[in-house]
Amino acid sequence: MAVAKAPQAFPRTEYLRRLAAVKSEMARREIDALIISSWGNITYLTGNVTRMLAVHALVVSIQDEEPTLIVRKMCAPGAAHQSFMAREKIIGYSENLVSKANTDGYDAVIDFLHDVGVAQGGIGLEQGNLMAPAVEKFIGKLPQARIVDCTRVVDWIRGVKSDLEIAVMREAAALADAAVMRARDVIRPGVREADAAVEIMAAQVNGVKGGPAATGLRPPLISSTPRTGTPHILWSESVFCDGMQINSEVSGNRYNYLAALMRTFSIGAPADRVRRLHDAQVAAIETALDLIRPGRTCSEVAHAMYSAIEKHGFPKESRCGYSIGIENQFTAWIEPTASFGREDMTVLQTNMTFHLMLGNWVEEEFGVTVSETIRVTDTGVEALTCAPRELFVL
């Protein structure tokens, strides 16, 4: 008996709208079939949120209304359960292609292209998401095809969200808010970092009473004294103590749409330098919130944010934010497109979403974090995350 369909995050019409946008770009590039390997882009076009670890690919054909998802045989029921497409659009390849030296799931993808008669046409590949041997395999086994690099084509299309997607991201933001507020409650002297992490993750999953629960989880990042200059690390085996500073980065997940949020906590009065850097970063966020609107460029906003920080006497080398949305296997919640960097000339559009990220790691043992997940509106900006924008003194 075939597995039943899971509740879908979006109606069928939403997925067909997205596919139509992709097919329009394919037609412009004279591509007959687009091979998608990015988790995030597969989620965007199918609703599938399975963390596929074996070789996998989504084939979007100009001629077919629905795409075809090719996965390891054991992953096919999960893909059929979660994706919007008909069951026959999920193909499970044999275990004989798994963990072999010279064959893998891409051989099944190539066979499929031959079977449907597109092996001599234009074939798009997300080459930036593939290992070099995989790209070479497509080129070698499709000698009559015209291979086109389509890295980030779908990423740029999904950079502008629909109103339905924004609603889901608001739910994700509420989960991130709940995690920060739970962190405020549980970070105390004598508490193990691991125990606090458990409570924070529970809030990431459960959210607030009456609200939707998470449908996935990325562990919180927790950097406590003396590790506050080290981003992107998990909790340690230490115990919180008086005078300690804790930087945290959490997220909420709804259908693999993520909202991120960073806050700094201080057990007892913070050092003057911590307070000053935090105030500088909040000033930069508020500058951005006043400036962001459709038609402005990422560069304009970034220059204003850097200036706001520098007026307070602090440098910032890293970018001030990036496009955020669907989780991906290599880049967490980061969409690999627009950034609030000095040279990014991307023009802001309504319903673009960003992690406005003012984490600043000045020295190996010193940094402060504060951020918001935001949406560009018709007239300005909306902060999707709502936790108090403050340095929490506990």
Query: How would DSSP label each residue in 307-323?
Result: HHHHHTT----S-SEEE
Q: What is the mean pLDDT of residues 330-335?
A: 86
Nearest to 58 by CA among 86, 33, 95: 33
β-strand pairing of 57-61 with 90-93: unpaired
Tell me the pLDDT of the chain averaged across its residues.
96
pLDDT of 219 strictly over 80: yes
Nearest to 153 by CA among 24, 249, 289: 24
Q: What is the mean pLDDT of residues 88-113?
A: 95
User: pLDDT band at residue 67, thresholds of 50, 70 and 90?
Assistant: very high
- Residue 328: per-residue pLDDT: 87
Higher-pLDDT residue of 125, 102: 125
pLDDT of 192 strictly over 90: yes
Nearest to 356 by CA among 333, 392, 388, 324: 324
- Residue 168: per-residue pLDDT: 98
Q: Do the beta carbons of residue 166 and residue 351 sit within 8 Å?
A: yes
Least confident of 44-53, 88-97, 166-175, 373-382: 44-53
Give the list of residues 6+ apart from residue 176 with CB closer than 8 angstroms, or none.
204, 250, 251, 252, 259, 260, 261, 373, 385, 387
Angle between helices 298-311 and 272-291 (to 10 degrees): 150
User: pLDDT band at residue 101, thresholds of 50, 70 and 90?
Assistant: confident
The share of the chain scoring above pLDDT 70, in percent, equals: 100
Q: Count other Cβ atoms within 10 Å, centred on residue 101.
A: 5
Give residue-wise pLDDT tens across range 280-312: 999 999 999 999 999 999 999 999 999 999 999
Q: What is the mean pLDDT of residues 40-64?
A: 94
Residue type, 34: L
pLDDT of 384 strictly over 90: yes
Q: Domains plus CATH for the chain?
A: 12-157 (3.40.350.10), 163-393 (3.90.230.10)
Q: What is the mean pLDDT of residues 39-55?
A: 92
Give residue-wise pLDDT tens across range 69-85: 999 999 999 999 999 99
Q: What is the pTM of this model?
A: 0.96
User: pLDDT band at residue 230, thresholds of 50, 70 and 90?
Assistant: very high
